[in-house]
Amino acid sequence: MSAETARITKEQLIAELNNDLAKEYQALIQYVQHAAVITGPQYDAIAAELVVHSNEEHQHAISLSDQIDFLGGVPAVDVAEVHVSEVSKVMLEQDLDGELDAIRRYKTRIGQAESLQEYGLRRALEDILIIEEEHARDLQNALDL
Ligand SMILES: [Fe+2]
Ligand SMILES: [Fe+2]
């Protein structure tokens, strides 16, 4: 465990979780928009999958809001900047960037929860991380990466 991880306070962790929450709302909205406008027969399967992703981001927002409340914080209602494009491939790249960022953030957050002995939070974050990794794989497959 790094010194930086060990130094985090509960208040700092709540602030980080609210930042994560804003990005879950961003992802939810972004997937709804991308699923609706993405075009091209090669993207039919992933278009349906983006709707599934959107619903899962909604579940993540609910889980994070509950966890922030359990920690004594107030869940925020901010939405991080949503990325849109007129180019289907670019949309998927924007979505993948978001997922890779989420994976990095949640790995850090799991370490921070562990350092504060918030094991219930850690478990909730691990469940979210598993889904974000699936999302990233879906997008990488659709992009032939
Ligand atoms: Fe998510
Ligand atoms: Fe995701």
Write the DSSP assignment of 92-130 as a string of letters: HHHHHHHHHHHHHHHHHHHHHHHHTT-HHHHHHHHHHHH
- How large is the average pLDDT for residues 28-51? 96
At residue 79, the pLDDT reads 98
Integer CA distances (angstroms), 58 to 64, 78, 108, 113, 117, in order: 10, 14, 21, 22, 26
**pLDDT-derived band at 125, boundaries 50, 70, 90:** very high
Measure 142 CA to ligand 1 centroid, in angstroms.
Answer: 19
pLDDT per position as a tens digit, 101-113: 999 999 999 999 9
At residue 122, the pLDDT reads 98
* Mean pLDDT value across the chain: 95
Nearest ligand (C-alpha, residue 52): 2
Flag whether pLDDT at 5 surpasses 80: no
Which structure tokens are listed for 137?
């794989």
Ligand 1 is a single-atom ion; what residues have CB below 5 A from it?
24, 57, 60
Calpha distance 137→95 (Å, rounded): 11
pLDDT per position as a tens digit, 77-95: 999 999 999 999 999 999 9
pLDDT per position as a tens digit, 130-139: 999 999 999 9
Which structure tokens are listed for 66?
């509950």
How large a percentage of the chain has pLDDT more than 90?
94
At residue 2, the pLDDT reads 52
How large a percentage of the chain has pLDDT more than 70?
96
| Residues 6+ away with beta carbon under 8 Å from 78 | 18, 21, 22, 25
Say what the pTM is: 0.94
At residue 7, the pLDDT reads 80
Nearest ligand (C-alpha, residue 134): 2
Nearest ligand (C-alpha, residue 60): 1
- Nearest Cα neighbor of 104 from 132, 144, 135 is 132
Flag whether pLDDT at 4 surpasses 80: no
Nearest ligand (C-alpha, residue 30): 2
